[in-house]
Structure 1
């Protein structure tokens, strides 16, 4: 069953890091609803990437492992989004 998840990625301010993440997502044909990139206030070299995805949980777990292996990624985590009515 397809759910909506928010994937939070914390990584270094490295050139083309977002591009490499989006290539991994597009190769798995996952639907991206929202993308946001912001700099952390306490450190200049750290970016936070927020992605809202629609996919199955096992697809997300595999994607999370692949993103963690990229050079420049500090930490990734995800959670299931609550649907508000």
Structure 2
């Protein structure tokens, strides 16, 4: 990130780590955009990884389970 710009990714990482949150990325959306963790890079035989801790890929099953066990669900974005 250039010095005169905010490091948004770094700010998210700090927020997630400071608040001990799960940093889950939708695997379907990530793969469509070329975002890979080590397992998916290996699976698709790609030479590089561009998703690192604390972020982790997961499917809708994890979201569904979390929503069932939570008292609220907050979503950002969308139309």
Instruction: Work out whether the TM-score is over 0.5.
Output: no
Larger gyration radius, structure 1 or structure 2 = 2
The normalised TM-score by structure 1 is 0.25
| Larger strand share, 1 or 2 | 1
